[in-house]
Amino acid sequence: MRQKEISLNIRPIKPLDEEFDDDHLLTSWNTPLREDAFVLSDDEKIEQIEKRFREIMEILGLDLTDDSLKGTPRRVAKMYVKEVFSGLNPKNRPVARLFENKYKYDQMLVEKEITFYSHCEHHFVPIYGKAHVAYFSSGKVIGLSKINRIVQYFAKRPQVQERLTVQIGKELQRILGTEHVGVVMDANHMCVASRGVGDTNSKTGTAFFGGRFTDENTKREFLNYINSK
């Protein structure tokens, strides 16, 4: 089967004060968190989420004395805090070690097909897809696995895809000390597929282009890398 290509018409990130559409107002590329977001420990958060999720299940009419259901509130609470939303906590931010660019490699470096899983902040259902990242070295290079970890860190929080794309791009610019970073994301949204319109075929594409990646030839080269086998 022929691999689906990512179109050059992929939507770039707009200025931060513009609306993306009726449902996606991005007022800041930072995840909106309260000042007291980390007053509670992880264990305290798990305890409180477990209690409240149990109440939700009871309101829905589920019998929590059933062997299959009685452990669900605890499992969900641990999953939220320790796994799927662990990227909210800055203590989990990846520490990226940089290396000297000893080979004087001055061309584009691309890591593509990075699998990510996130959750839509509007309905708390999964977003999943592929991230493709590229940069030009400013004299330092980053270990490839750290790029994956950066993508996963920002994905593991309630998100909109536009913000997620910007966060990954901005973080790589900060770490690498260069504006020359490009990020393209291609994702499925279960809030579209499993509810509402029920469209299981559509995908959403977003892109972040900084520095040399704003040049059309460089942008095209990046997208050609993505589409190559």
**Mean of pLDDT over the chain:** 88
DSSP state of 135: E
- Give the long-range contacts of residues 144-147, CB within 8 A, separation 24 or more: 144/111, 146/94, 146/96, 146/97, 147/111, 147/114, 147/172
pLDDT at 159: 96
Give the residue-averaged pLDDT of 143-154.
96
Prediction pTM value: 0.85
Residue the block writes with tokens 């062997």:
67
Residue 180 clears pLDDT 50, i.e. is over it: yes
Judge whether 142 and 98 are in contact, CB under 8 Å.
Answer: yes
pLDDT at 229: 78
CA torsion 47-163-121-154 (nearest 10°) is: -30
pLDDT at 197: 64
The residues spanned by each domain of the chain are 17-32+97-227, 42-88
pLDDT at 213: 98
Mean pLDDT check: name the lowest of 33-37, 40-44, 113-117, 197-201: 197-201
pLDDT at 27: 53
CATH of domain 17-32+97-227: 3.30.1130.10
Residues labelled as active-site residues = 120-123, 161, 189, 191
The strand pair at 11-12 and 204-209 is best described as parallel
pLDDT at 204: 84
Quickly state the pLDDT bin for 18 (edges 50, 70, 90): very low
Class of the domain covering 42-88:
mainly alpha
High-pLDDT (> 90) share of the chain, %: 77
DSSP H helical segments within the chain, as ranges?
A: 42-59, 72-78, 144-155, 161-176, 190-193, 216-227
pLDDT in tens, 53-86: 999 999 999 999 999 999 999 999 999 999 999 9
Q: Which two tokens stand for residue 28?
A: 């800041």
Mean pLDDT check: name the lowest of 2-6, 129-133, 185-189: 2-6
Give the residue-averaged pLDDT of 208-216.
98
Residue 37 clears pLDDT 70, i.e. is over it: yes
pLDDT at 4: 47
Assess whether the region 17-32+97-227 and the region 42-88 belong to the same CATH fold: no
CA 123 to chain centre: 16
Residue 136 clears pLDDT 60, i.e. is over it: yes
